[in-house]
């Protein structure tokens, strides 16, 4: 078991990192492989998965975790995520202390730990606001499939019955787990998390706090520390694997029989040669010049450049290459490298000595086509630590020679970036594309034409594009930060996967099915009233019913009302909307769509409200909008309209005494032709008279 001990300001971790399998913490059957402190080289933990029962692990997720999560509605799952994020927030000191041992500075840890918790909070909030309080999600509108309206189609999303396996890289032991777990949990999936062995002790500490809290249903989250062993052999068609790591491992997983033959879904976030482009419009005097330089230095040094989104290639207009190299070098010279516990240190060590060797090898390869502009990969001044025992490396800036190929092929996963020159916007786009697909690109420009041309040129090759200038710089979240509400992932070499992006990241993990049925069946299946299905017109006006009493299909058909010319004139004068089609008979007659004076659409909607409303105080508390309003047939003077209002969807809010009711509204004329259709959105008390909550 790993445990933080902060008595000496530096966390210590006891022997073997454990896994959480089928409801209990288990130790490997061997002594494990040592994991060393990135700064001191001391052994801090051992890690192994030898002897883990992978079959039991997967079965527990499928048979215990999955059913328990799927019993909850999206809102209930979101509520648990919020409680979980709050709970973990109380243990941040412990996580920060362990994070230090991975080589992370305070700022690096914040990105991993607070970034992870922020992602869970974001999914909690999105799940409540954007998903129904149900276990099925309806996708898009109902498609009419038969002329008579008795056969319709609707796409639905349901939870898959398998487990979501998350395999993570060493660089984000907390965020990496949570950014995969939160959307999977909302999607109704039990997760099996496998952190990279190098930093598994921090993930283990977080999972321990999660399990202790008892907030999640048992089986919703299991943990495998150490190698993946035979885990993938246990997976089949309802399971999925979300992988973040090297292109090499991605290749191994893509060729695994579970993926090739048993239909296991595989999402890959692999390495990426991200670029930042300085626009052709920028001179060294522009504020954008400094923004570009700062961006490159930040991405080289945060987490010692061990970020999948870091800038590996800086594309600079040819005449500015010298000035940019100088400016970046000058800034890099101010970066203190050393023990991340020392507050003066801006950049800590790499995660391990092996990692440092890998980066040195990558720099050697890059030197085939580039010269070093700043730094020495074999020498660095270190503050507060032994440079030989810790995995320290100087930031290294390279300057590519014309025709360089290595910068577009070799990913140095450390504080290394290469400056490349370009002459035209098209050349910059072509150079960016030589990364063969990346997670993110940034463009620093103040010219809207360049912004459009370059962004649209980059987009097919990238998952995210940041356009930075003096106007958004202060609020910009920067080149390297994936955000929970925006898509993270990139095409081609970056793996072709897609994560996050708000609710997109949830839907991505669910099964979309096209359902074909009669309107009544569709209403029953989806829990949302479908046009053409049965209505119930009762004695009691539906506005007199509380949320508990209302049922989908409850309706009111109003009396008819004649719309007079005086109504139209009055509305025009009263509101100031004197558009000619409502006020000028001659001009309106010449209008090809109307052929004469017509009522304002908003007058029709207002009159409809007057026809369906029940005016007395009651359970309907407020109207908070309309959706999908369409005016279909013009209303002329002396036309008679009536409205049919039907309860379409009922969504109780778990944190309030009321819920949302969506009503289907259809306004028809004397010929029964639809004049306007829309959804009315109201808030309705759960009980009426309302019970006091005080
Ligand atoms: P890695 O060696 O590929 O390891 C990644 C994960 O895969 C680890 O958990 C590792 O476990 C596991 N793994 C290794 N072999 C496996 C196998 N045969 N079956 C199942 N799992 C296996 O990558 P890394 O060195 O940790 O991470 C650095 C790389 O990740 C860089 O190239 C970086 O660009 C990329 N990365 C990408 C993103 C992104 O979002 N696109 C984010 C971060 C990092 P063990 O640790 O136990 O071996």
Q: Where is average pLDDT lowest: 475-479, 544-548, 650-654?
A: 650-654
Give the CA diameter of the chain.
Answer: 93
- The answer to whether residues 453 and 359 belong to one domain is yes
pLDDT at 14 over 80: no
Among the atoms of ligand 1, which is closest to the Cα of residue 231?
Answer: 20
249 CA to centre of ligand 1 in angstroms? 6
Residue 640: inside a domain: yes
600 CA to centre of ligand 1 in angstroms? 61
> Mutate which of 32, 36, 169 to test ligand 1's pocket (most atoms within 8 Å of Cβ)?
169
pLDDT at 565 over 60: yes
The answer to whether 632 and 676 are in contact (CB under 8 A) is yes
Residue 148: inside a domain: no
Q: Which residue's CA is the nearest one to ligand 1's atom 13?
A: 249
- The answer to whether residues 338 and 283 belong to one domain is yes
Distance CA 349, CA 403 (A): 32
Number of structural domains the chain divides into: 3
Burial of 498 (C-beta count, 10 Å sphere; 0-12/13-18/19+): middle
197 lines ligand 1 (CB under 6 A): yes
Task: Name the domain boundary from 268, 295, 317.
Answer: 268
Query: What confidence category does residue 554 fall into, taking pLDDT thresholds of 50, 70 and 90?
Result: very high
249 lines ligand 1 (CB under 6 A): yes
> Mutate which of 46, 102, 200, 249 to test ligand 1's pocket (most atoms within 8 Å of Cβ)?
249
CATH of the domain at 675: 3.10.129.10
CA angle 152, 157, 162 (to 5 degrees): 140
With pLDDT > 90 as the criterion, what percentage of the chain qualifies? Answer: 95
228 lines ligand 1 (CB under 6 A): yes
170 lines ligand 1 (CB under 6 A): yes
Cα–Cα nearest to 417, from 377, 390, 469, 462: 377
- The answer to whether residues 415 and 329 belong to one domain is yes
pTM equals: 0.91
DSSP, res 376: B
Residue range 285-292: mean pLDDT, rounded: 98
Which segments of 574-638 are extended strands (E)?
620-631
Look at residue 3 in the predicted model and tell me its pLDDT.
Answer: 44
Give residue-wise pLDDT tens across range 373-394. Answer: 999 999 999 999 999 899 999 9
355 lines ligand 1 (CB under 6 A): no
6 lines ligand 1 (CB under 6 A): no
- The answer to whether residues 188 and 238 belong to one domain is yes
Look at residue 388 in the predicted model and tell me its pLDDT.
Answer: 87
Q: Catalytic residue numbers? A: 269, 308
pLDDT at 538 over 80: yes
175 lines ligand 1 (CB under 6 A): no
Among the atoms of ligand 1, which is closest to the Cα of residue 250?
Answer: 3
Cα–Cα nearest to 91, from 235, 240, 234, 202: 202
Mean pLDDT of the chain: 94
Distance CA 183, CA 19 (A): 22
Residue range 163-182: mean pLDDT, rounded: 97
Residue 217: inside a domain: yes
- The answer to whether residues 462 and 417 belong to one domain is yes
Task: Name the domain boundary from 249, 268, 287.
Answer: 268
Residue 147: inside a domain: no
244 CA to centre of ligand 1 in angstroms? 6
Distances (CA, A) of 627 to 542, 555, 615, 664, 684: 20, 18, 22, 10, 17
Look at residue 691 in the predicted model and tell me its pLDDT.
Answer: 62
Residue 3: inside a domain: no
Distance CA 612, CA 597 (A): 26
- Find the DSSP H helices in 333-374: 353-366
Residue 81: inside a domain: yes
169 lines ligand 1 (CB under 6 A): yes
Task: Name the domain boundary from 228, 250, 268.
Answer: 268
- The answer to whether residues 208 and 346 belong to one domain is no
Look at residue 15 in the predicted model and tell me its pLDDT.
Answer: 81
Residue 617: inside a domain: yes
- The answer to whether residues 423 and 542 belong to one domain is no
With pLDDT > 70 as the criterion, what percentage of the chain qualifies? Answer: 97
Residue range 302-325: mean pLDDT, rounded: 97
Give residue-wise pLDDT tens across range 239-250. Answer: 999 999 999 999
- The answer to whether residues 83 and 101 belong to one domain is yes
Distance CA 1, CA 371 (A): 47
- The answer to whether residues 566 and 448 belong to one domain is no
Distance CA 644, CA 664 (A): 8
245 lines ligand 1 (CB under 6 A): yes
- The answer to whether residues 309 and 330 belong to one domain is yes
CATH of the domain at 209: 3.40.605.10
Query: What confidence category does residue 163 fall into, taking pLDDT thresholds of 50, 70 and 90?
Result: very high
Query: What confidence category does residue 346 fall into, taking pLDDT thresholds of 50, 70 and 90?
Result: very high
197 CA to centre of ligand 1 in angstroms? 10
Q: Is 459 helix (H, G, I), strand (E, B) or coil?
A: helix
Residue range 249-268: mean pLDDT, rounded: 95
270 lines ligand 1 (CB under 6 A): yes
> Mutate which of 245, 257, 303 to test ligand 1's pocket (most atoms within 8 Å of Cβ)?
245
Residue 336: inside a domain: yes
- The answer to whether residues 554 and 442 belong to one domain is no
- The answer to whether residues 217 and 168 belong to one domain is yes
99 CA to centre of ligand 1 in angstroms? 18
439 lines ligand 1 (CB under 6 A): yes
Task: Tell me the CB-side half-sphere exposure of residue 382, using CA atoms within 13 A.
Answer: 23
248 CA to centre of ligand 1 in angstroms? 9
The answer to whether 252 and 179 are in contact (CB under 8 A) is no
Distance CA 257, CA 155 (A): 31
Give residue-wise pLDDT tens across range 84-131. Answer: 999 999 999 999 999 999 999 999 999 999 999 999 999 999 999 999
310 CA to centre of ligand 1 in angstroms? 16
CA-based end-to-end distance of the chain: 46
Higher pLDDT, 690 or 81: 81
> Mutate which of 203, 246, 361, 494 to test ligand 1's pocket (most atoms within 8 Å of Cβ)?
246
Length of the chain: 694
Residue numbers of the domain that contains 346: 275-481
pLDDT at 9 over 60: no
CATH of the domain at 282: 3.40.309.10
The answer to whether 258 and 108 are in contact (CB under 8 A) is no
Distance CA 273, CA 94 (A): 34
Neighbours of 556 (CB within 10 A): 21
């Amino acid at each position: 078991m790993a445990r933080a001990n902060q008595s000496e300001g530096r966390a210590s971790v006891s022997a073997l990192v454990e896994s959480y399998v089928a409801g209990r913490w288990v130790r490997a059957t061997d002594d494990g492989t040592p994991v060393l402190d990135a700064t001191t080289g001391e052994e801090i933990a051992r890690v192994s998965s030898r002897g883990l029962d992978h079959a039991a692990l997967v079965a527990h997720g499928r048979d215990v975790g999955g059913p328990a999560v799927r019993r909850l509605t999206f809102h209930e799952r979101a509520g648990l995520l919020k409680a979980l994020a709050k709970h973990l927030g109380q243990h941040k000191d412990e996580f920060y202390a362990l994070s230090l041992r991975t080589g992370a500075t305070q700022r690096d840890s914040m990105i991993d730990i607070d970034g992870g918790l922020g992602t869970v909070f974001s999914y909690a909030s999105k799940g409540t606001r954007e998903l129904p309080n149900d276990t099925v999600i309806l996708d898009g509108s109902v498609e009419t499939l038969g002329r008579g309206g008795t056969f319709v189609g609707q796409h639905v999303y349901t939870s898959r019955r398998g487990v979501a396996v998350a395999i993570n890289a060493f660089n984000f032991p907390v965020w990496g787990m949570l950014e995969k777990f939160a959307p999977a949990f909302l999607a109704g999936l039990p997760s099996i998390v496998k952190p990279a062995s190098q930093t598994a002790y921090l993930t283990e500490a977080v999972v321990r706090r999660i399990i202790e809290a008892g907030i999640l249903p048992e089986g919703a989250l299991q943990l495998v520390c150490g190698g993946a062993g035979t885990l993938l052999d246990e997976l089949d068609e309802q399971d999925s694997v979300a992988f973040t790591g090297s292109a090499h491992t991605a290749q191994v997983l893509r060729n695994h029989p579970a993926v090739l033959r048993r239909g296991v879904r595989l999402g890959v976030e692999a390495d990426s040669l991200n670029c930042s482009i300085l626009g052709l419009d920028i001179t060294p005097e522009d504020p954008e010049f400094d923004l570009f330089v700062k961006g490159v230095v930040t991405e080289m040094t945060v987490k010692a450049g061990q970020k999948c989104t870091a800038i590996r290639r800086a594309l600079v207009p040819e005449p500015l290459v010298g000035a940019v190299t100088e400016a970046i070098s000058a800034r890099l010279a101010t970066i203190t490298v050393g023990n991340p516990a020392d507050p003066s240190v801006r950049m800590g060590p790499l995660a391990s000595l092996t990692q440092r060797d890998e980066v040195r090898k990558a720099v050697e390869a890059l030197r085939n086509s580039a010269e070093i502009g700043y730094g020495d990969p074999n020498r660095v001044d270190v503050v507060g630590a032994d440079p030989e025992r810790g995995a320290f490396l100087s930031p290294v800036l390279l300057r590519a020679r014309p025709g360089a190929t290595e910068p577009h092929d070799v990913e140095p996963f450390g504080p290394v970036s290469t400056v490349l020159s370009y002459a035209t916007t098209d050349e910059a786009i072509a150079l960016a594309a030589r990364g063969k697909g990346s997670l993110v690109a940034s463009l620093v420009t103040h010219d809207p034409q360049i912004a459009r041309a370059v962004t649209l040129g980059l987009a097919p090759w990238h998952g995210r594009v940041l356009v930075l200038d003096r106007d958004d710089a202060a609020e910009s979240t920067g080149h390297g930060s994936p955000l929970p509400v925006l898509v993270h992932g990139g095409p081609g070499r970056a793996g072709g996967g897609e994560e996050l992006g708000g609710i997109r990241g949830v839907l991505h993990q669910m099964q979309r099915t096209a359902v074909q049925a009669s309107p009544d069946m569709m209403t029953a299946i989806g829990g949302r009233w479908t046009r053409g299905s049965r209505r119930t017109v009762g004695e009691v006006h539906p506005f007199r019913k509380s949320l508990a009493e209302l049922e989908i299909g409850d309706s009111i058909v109003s009396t008819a009302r004649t719309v007079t010319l005086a109504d139209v004139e009055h509305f025009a004068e009263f509101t100031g909307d004197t558009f000619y089609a409502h006020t000028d008979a001659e001009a309106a007659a010449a209008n090809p769509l109307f052929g004469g004076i017509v009522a304002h659409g908003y007058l029709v909607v207002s009159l409809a409200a007057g026809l369906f409303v029940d005016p007395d105080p009651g359970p309907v508390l407020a109207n908070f909008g309309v959706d999908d309003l369409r005016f279909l047939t013009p209303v002329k003077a002396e036309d008679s309209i009536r409205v049919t209002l039907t309860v379409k969807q009922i969504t109780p809010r778990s944190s309030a005494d009321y819920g949302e009711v969506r009503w289907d509204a259809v306004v028809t004329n004397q010929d029964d032709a639809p004049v306007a259709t829309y959804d009315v959105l109201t808030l309705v008390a759960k009980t009426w008279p309302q019970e006091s909550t005080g």
